[in-house]
Amino acid sequence: METITGITFNFPNQISHYNGKVRDVYNINNEHLVMVVSDRISAFDVVLPKGIPYKGQVLNQLAAKFLRATEDILPNWLIDSPDPNVSVGKMCEPFKVEMVIRGYLTGHAWRTYKSGLRTLCGVTLPEGMKENQKFPEPIITPTTKASEGHDEDISREDIIANGIVSKEDYEKLEDYTRKIFQRGTEIAAKQGLILVDTKYEFGKIGNEIYLIDEIHTPDSSRYFYADVYQERLTANEPQKQLSKEFVREWLMAGGFQGKDGQTIPEMTDEFVESVTDRYIELYEKVSGEKFEKIELTNPKERIENNVKSFFDKLTVSN
């Protein structure tokens, strides 16, 4: 099987391209973006050495599904998904923050809380909480959007004071973030899941705010199984969850947290296969649909043909 990890594409009218940790984004005529969702996997802001078969397909198809399910709340960048690993959309000017929203005390928030701190991104956390407990209401804990290296926690006040986002726009981002999270929570509940926390990115075309990038995928979100949530919380047991957290836990168990001098544990074939299985499980559980595996041979030719066909049709329609 050929995973999509280090492939570079050359699309018609391509001006430039940017390689992210997972997504490769191609600028077409300063008007459209072609986002190729690779099979790379990152944790602690480090790209791991092996690709995960079908991971890009899972992320791309879930993101497209949820972008379409939230387009009544605000417009988003997506025009179409002409290939299982590709989305094409409008080019926006991105805000330099990620809007992280948390409904439960887990992950990074729990690690902060456990260390004794009671403030996260300027938000005061209640005393007496335990891991995975639900917050009285969801909290927004933004981060700066780093072009490389680690994203950094930042408060609402510092974002506005430093002119990273205007007060007017930031208030809109907060409002959109809460509304999209509520929609995601409702969709997840129908599937027997709890949307625990997630992050959103936004951009602008002119004066209009757009939702960009991906939403509600296992790379950007964490889900718990609702049927065993309360039982496990009461028993102080780990939650049964669908997210990328198990990869972080595997790395931490192997002594790796992305810090200098640490070595990534060996990614065996069995481990890679288990990660694929977890991503497919999440796709089917979250979407309620059967995952249809694509043929993993010559993805470069397939993607280039599908993207070219998309733009040929777009030109004709215009």
What are the average pLDDT values for consecutive 10-residue runs of the chain, which has 318 residues? 88 93 94 96 91 96 96 98 97 96 96 96 97 98 76 94 97 98 97 96 97 91 96 96 86 93 94 93 92 92 95 82
Position 318 scores a pLDDT of 64
Let me know if residue 86 belongs to a domain: no
Given the DSSP bridges, would you call strands 123-124 and 221-225 parallel, antiparallel or unpaired?
unpaired
Position 39 scores a pLDDT of 96
97 burial (CB, 10 Å; 0-12 / 13-18 / 19+) is buried
Position 149 scores a pLDDT of 55
AA identity, residue 138: P
Q: What φ, ψ does residue 27 adopt, rounded to 5°?
A: -85, 120
Let me know if residue 36 belongs to a domain: no
Calculate ∠ Cα 179-181-184, nearest 5°.
115
Given the DSSP bridges, would you call strands 14-19 and 208-212 parallel, antiparallel or unpaired?
unpaired
Let me know if residue 31 belongs to a domain: no
- State whether residue 15 is helix, strand or coil: strand
- State whether residue 266 is helix, strand or coil: coil
User: Within 10 Å of residue 230's Cβ, how many Cβ atoms?
Assistant: 10
**What are the helix (H) ranges across the chain?**
55-69, 107-114, 156-161, 167-190, 229-234, 245-253, 269-287, 299-317
Position 147 scores a pLDDT of 59
- Owning domain of residue 166: 94-246
Let me know if residue 231 belongs to a domain: yes
Position 151 scores a pLDDT of 76
246 burial (CB, 10 Å; 0-12 / 13-18 / 19+) is middle
Let me know if residue 9 belongs to a domain: no
Let me know if residue 12 belongs to a domain: no
Tally of domains in the chain: 1
Let me know if residue 22 belongs to a domain: no
First-to-last alpha carbon distance for the chain, in angstroms, is 38
> CATH code at 172?
3.30.470.20
Position 296 scores a pLDDT of 85
Let me know if residue 291 belongs to a domain: no
